[in-house]
Copies of this chain bind each other. A is one copy, B any other.
Amino acid sequence: MSTIKRLQPETRLSGAVIHHGLVYLAGQVADDATRDTEGQTADILRQIDALLEEAGTDKSRLLTAQIFITDITEIADMNRAWDAWMDPANKPARATIEAKLANPDWKVEITAICAL
């Protein structure tokens, strides 16, 4: 049976789950929820970098990402942080939709699948 490794356990989820050469990330939200959409996105992307590093990979091997934003009219603000972060030689598939999130102060949540 294939091995499953779980990173950064929280109360009711794992921050990341590694299986068969892939890392599945839980939806990441900003540690500092007082920041604006661009700031929260940058905060989230730093956390994703840390999770991927702990898993033994990095953003150059990102396969797909899903971005949830509470106000889709602020997508340009999210994208500024995204553009500053993403590896232009290795862009993942991506989908972005508007959705309310568990904490009303969260403006962005990002989930992703990355190859080891």
Contacts and interface: CB of A to CB of B under 8 A. Distances in A.
A27 B63 contact: no
Interface stretch (A6-14, A30-38, A42-50): A6-14
Given A4-B61, A91-B13, A99 B99 contact: yes
A17 B97 contact: no
A52 interface: no
A50 B75 CA distance: 27
Given A90-B6, A109-B95, A64 B100 contact: no
Given A61-B4, A72-B101, A92 B17 contact: yes
User: 6 shortest A-B CB distances, which residue pairs?
Assistant: A27-B95, A98-B100, A97-B99, A13-B94, A26-B93, A24-B64
Given A72-B100, A99-B99, 5 more contacts: A4-B90, A10-B91, A97-B99, A97-B109, A98-B99
